Amino acid sequence: MRLKGLGVSPGIGIGRALVLKRSTRELRFRVPSALVPRELERLEQARSRSREQVEKIKGRMTDSVGADHAYLFDAQLLMLDDPMLIERAARIIRAERLNAESALQRSLQQISAFFDRAEDPYLRERKGDVADVVGRLCMNLRATGDPSDWFKGLEGPMVLVADEITPSVIAQLDWSVLAALVTDAGSWTYHTAILARSLRIPAVAGLHNASSVIPPGANMAVDGSTGEVITDPDQPALHQIAARRRRREAYEQSLDEFRPLPAVTIDGVVIRLEANIETPDDASRAEQRGAEGIGLFRSEFLLAGGGQSALAEEAQFTAYRRLLEGADGRRVTVRTFDVSEPQLPIEHAGVEGTRTPLGLRGIRLSLALDEIFQAQLRALLRAAAHGPLRIMFPFVSGVEELRAARAAVARAADTLRSRGLPAPAVPIGVMIEVPSAALTADLLAPEADFFSLGTNDLIQYCLAVDRTDDRVSRLYEPLHPAILRTIRLVVRAARRHRIPVAVCGEMAADPALLTLLIGLGLTEFSMAPASIGVAKQVLRGVSAAEARRMAGRALLGRTSAEVERTLTEFLAPAAGDEVHRTTPHTANETRRL
Ligand code: PEP
Ligand code: MG
């Protein structure tokens, strides 16, 4: 079977499928023979737990609406004892070495097919009851527990196939066995895709139904550049994949020579290239890959799998100090937690009300949860004694939030001083990623020390296109005239108020778009460490003056297509070499690799 999605993290991974259905909390995989008894035991335990629960439900129904209505649950109890379901699943575990959840699902499919063929409408309706019982059994198996245990005892490199998956889950996995990642949802700026690129795990997103059609345990080859996913590849396909992998590795190596070179355009404009990283240990690796500093440390990744203790001032201080030490005197920009309340590792943070994606997130959440915010700010200010640190706030929508956040920094500094500790002054910056912040950049600039354009969210909110929804990913258009104008507005405001402005969104990592951004007057960029080599290679061949003239023409474009044409014409002389363009919008060259 061949599937085609969006290649969101380059490289080729080969391994066996482990299927995660987050929507139903199911994990499906093939186990080594030694683990077959464990799966049979889990199945049996789930059966007895389900039995107890259904008995209780039946009793409750009998008490409240009478025994007449409780008969439905008698049927479910019978199903739990019926060899047709559990015994069938046990046979599948023994014969196919599937884990208990997969075996139950297979069993359900077979029984459903049987019911579908039945003439009797009563029997056909029983299909729903069996599905209900299987759902309960799977719930009681609770296989999706701790992601760090998922690959335990399993053989060989694994390809994780998920309907959707959060970065915190990826952060907890054993990466040494994770050969590749494929997801039904997602796009280039999906956080999980960003993390996969950082970890250099090949990934394909936007496959729509991979988690339904790829069987657990299938052999898989995943090409994170082209977006191709092949299950059970034959010999010729494997040869082709191996050749592609060799070409890709040779290309990666060819970039190494650019990493130590200065980032200067051919007409002498000095560009600053920094790295976006997610763990403190990435800092030294980023430097090896040619980064001049850390332009974005996504601090919320410290919370992945760490439980409530990850929020403690001391734990954070240790992490930030390690980060600064790893950066070895280079500038480090830490973004305060960019999470929404359910992502915090605490039962209930104490903020009442319904949860929505555009609700309490980023700086809004930090301002609502003062204790947590203060602990983070104190940890950061203490760490600032160990290197050149900058603090940046995510999801700021206007001047009031920036003032409130700055006041919080001042209070954290006062607390430290009252403890007799130093609290050095650190530059305070704003991520420009909410359209209202971009539109009021001239008001924010006098009160901020720097800006960083978060184009991932800026594009999503300017164009009203969910960056994680594969069905609208073609509308996620960095070359939309609205985006060019917004960026120009922010650059002008920053220039007028003499504060630096960088781009830390994924736009900067696309060499073609990088050229356009240089043309729009930007000279500071932050990107995944793996992208720095290509970025240097490209910008060292660009004239900033010519790029400015091209950007002037691009700004006259009325549609994304017109803007793209201007950019393509400008890049045309270089189109023969295989370097340019890595995002789905302009990925043709990379696809040839
Ligand atoms: C952005 O929005 O562009 C950004 C860099 O932040 P994140 O991708 O973490 O939302
Ligand atoms: Mg963002």
Please give the Cα distance from 317 to 323 (Å, whole number). 10
Residue 222 in contact with residue 204, Cβ under 8 Å?
yes
Instruction: Show Cβ contacts of residue 512 under 8 Å, excluding neighbours closer than 6 positions.
Output: 567, 568, 571, 580, 581, 586
Segment 343-379, tens digit of pLDDT:
777 765 556 665 566 888 899 999 999 999 999 999 9
Residue 110: pLDDT band (50, 70, 90) is confident
- pLDDT for res 574: 53
- pLDDT for res 470: 74
Ligand 1 pocket, 455 CB below 6 A?
yes
CA 187 to ligand 1 centroid distance, Å: 13
Ligand 1 pocket, 505 CB below 6 A?
yes
Ligand 1 pocket, 468 CB below 6 A?
no
Q: What is the 3-state secondary structure (H, E, C) of 60-123?
A: HHHHHHCHHHHHHHHHHHHHHHCCCCHHHHHHHHHHHCECHHHHHHHHHHHHHHHHHHCCCHHH
Closest to 320 in 3D by CA, of 373, 389, 371:
389
Segment 10-21, tens digit of pLDDT:
899 999 999 988
- Cβ neighbours, 10 Å, residue 390: 23
**pLDDT average, residue stretch 310-331:** 96
Atom of ligand 1 nearest to the CA of 296: 5
Segment 32-56, tens digit of pLDDT:
888 899 899 999 999 988 888 888 8
SS3 390: strand
Please give the Cα distance from 513 to 535 (Å, whole number). 10
Residue 293 in contact with residue 504, Cβ under 8 Å?
no
Residue 219 dihedral angles phi and psi, to the nearest 5°:
-75, 135
CA 331 to ligand 1 centroid distance, Å: 19
Segment 453-470, tens digit of pLDDT:
999 999 999 999 987 777
Catalytic residue positions? Answer: 191, 504
Ligand 1 pocket, 433 CB below 6 A?
yes
Closest to 229 in 3D by CA, of 179, 193, 182, 165:
182
Share of the chain above pLDDT 90, in %: 54
Segment 205-264, tens digit of pLDDT:
989 899 999 999 999 999 998 899 999 999 898 888 888 888 888 888 888 888 889 999
Environment class of 96 (CB within 10 Å of its CB; exposed 0-12, middle 13-18, buried 19+): middle
Token pair 């959840």 is found at: 101
Residue 185 has pLDDT above 50, yes or no: yes
Residue 573: pLDDT band (50, 70, 90) is low
Atom of ligand 1 nearest to the CA of 506: 3
Q: C-alpha distances in angstroms, 387 versus 237, 286, 332? A: 50, 16, 8
Mean pLDDT of the chain: 88
CA 508 to ligand 1 centroid distance, Å: 12
Please give the Cα distance from 316 to 314 (Å, whole number). 5
Residue 592: pLDDT band (50, 70, 90) is very low
CA-proximal residue: ligand 1, atom 4 (nearest): 454
CA-proximal residue: ligand 1, atom 3 (nearest): 454
Q: C-alpha distances in angstroms, 521 versus 7, 502, 513? A: 30, 10, 13
Which of 190, 277, 431 to mutate for ligand 1's pocket (most ligand atoms within 8 Å of CB)?
A: 431
More confident site: 300 or 68:
300
Radius of gyration of the chain (CA): 27
Residue 179 dihedral angles phi and psi, to the nearest 5°:
-80, -30
More confident site: 22 or 380:
380
Closest to 101 in 3D by CA, of 58, 74, 135, 64:
135
Residue 333 in contact with residue 454, Cβ under 8 Å?
no
